[in-house]
Structure 1
Amino acid sequence: MKLVYVFDAYCGWSYGFAGTMSAIARRHPELPVDVVSGGLFTGPRRRPIRDFGYVQGANAKISDVTGVVFGRAYDELIADGSFVMDSEAAARGMAALRELAPDRAVALAEALQVAFYRDGLSLSDDAAYRAVAEEAGLDAEAVVRAFHSPAASAAAEADFRRTRDLGVEGFPTLVAEVDGRTAVLAVGHATVEQVERRLAALAPA
């Protein structure tokens, strides 16, 4: 069995789910996890945040349901509504981090979201990847170089294709791949206990 975690670094519900995902990864070190960037804000959806009028209300609901905190620096970053969430850039950054530390991809995905939603760092800027890399004990300059590389762009596009191939339409989505089949474990939000029950139902008798 393998888990596939399809998230978007600019998705608030993915941020809210990060704690659950990290807990599942810690509880099941025997299960490999592919972390895939979904590409929520690409193409015509790559617009100033003011165009998404529901953001603040949605964030309040995410906080109520999951307990995550949206930081003051984040509030300041988006305050005038001009900030553009670019999921292609975020996917390149995730690919760069994943390349440097593939076995820590789940933790790095969470750290990337903390950099944005708590620390107010744009995921289009080198500073976000330096901060995440340094906190994780990775070579920050190597991560930044990878972020700007053609390989990262190719990896981001591959992630978007895989998201489509899996039929994922909402983020986050966690699926299990078992014997060539996929089973959905969570979409949008789930507790650790809910995911554990769904995992247990997939285990051989």
Structure 2
Amino acid sequence: MKLVYVFDAYCGWSHGFSGTLSEVASRHPELPVEVVSGGLFTGSRRVPIREFGYVQGANAKIAELTGAEFGEAYERLIADGSFVMDSEAAARGLAALRQAAPARAVELAVAVQRAFYVDGLSLSDPATYRKVAEDAGLDADAVVAAFEGAEGRVAAEADFHRSASLGVTGFPTLLAVDGDLIAPVAHGHANADEVDRQLATLRTP
């Protein structure tokens, strides 16, 4: 069995789930975790953030429920409403980082979300992935090249198709996958104990 975590780097609820994801991964080193970008803000949804009027209110609720941090730099970035969240670029960035360190996908996904929601860095900017890569001790030049190259776009599209093929309709979604069995263990908001209870149910013969 493995876990598949489908999220979007520009999804506040996914940011709120970061603590749970990290805790579940640390509790279950025997379970590989595949991290997939879902593609929340693509195509016609790639518009200035002011068009999503619920952002600040939703973030306040996410912080209250999960303890997630929304930094001052992030608040400044989105203050005038003109910032455009581009999930395709974010997926390319995650894919580039994931390629550099496949076994650290959970840690890197959390770092990418922190770069946006705490440090106020655009996930369309190659410099963001350079910083995340450097902080993680990875080859930053290789990560930026992968982000900017054709393979990044291919990887992003593959992630979006993977998300759709798993039947995921909202983010974050954590799935347990065992052969043909695909079982949701968390959706939206859950703590590590709740995820553990779901996993225990699946492991009971």
Please, what TM-score do these two structures have when normalized by structure 2?
Answer: 0.98
- Give 1:204 deviation, angstroms: 4.2
The whole-number CA distance in structure 2 between the counterparts of 1:179 and 1:38 is 21
**1:174 alignment partner in structure 2:** 174
What is the rounded CA distance, in whole Å, between the counterparts of 1:20 and 1:76 in structure 2?
A: 27
What is the 5 A alignment of 1:178-193?
A: 178-193=178-193
Report the Cα distance in structure 2 between the residues aligned to 1:75 and 1:131, rounded to whole angstroms. 20
Distance in 2 between residues matched to 1:97 and 1:36, nearest whole Å: 12
- What's the C-alpha RMSD, in Å, of the aligned pairs? 0.7
Deviation at 1:179, TM superposition (A): 3.1
3-state SS of paired residue (1:185): strand
Deviations 1:66-115 (A, max 9, x none): 00110000000001000000000000000000000000000000000000
Q: How many correspondences in the alignment?
A: 205
**Structure 2: distance between partners of 1:58 and 1:174:** 21
1:69 matched to 2:60: no
- Summarize the alignment of residues 12-161 of structure 1 with structure 2, pairs less than 5 Å apart: 12-161=12-161
Whole-angstrom CA distance in 1 between matches of 2:165 and 2:180? 14
8 Å CA contact 2:126–2:148 kept in 1: the answer is no
Q: Which runs of 4+ in 1 moved over 2 A?
A: none
Contact 2:175 2:185 in 1 (8 A): yes
String of CA shifts for 1:90-142, please: whole Å, max 9, x gaps.
Answer: 00000000000000000000000000000000000011101111110111111
Is there any run of 5+ residues in structure 2 with no aligned partner, and where?
Answer: none
> Is the 8 Å Cα contact of residues 89 and 123 (structure 2) preserved in structure 1?
yes
SS at match of 1:5: strand
> Structure 1: which 5+ runs fail to align?
none
Query: Is the 2:115–2:121 contact (alpha carbons within 8 Å) kept by the matching residues of 1?
Result: yes
Q: Percent identity?
A: 68
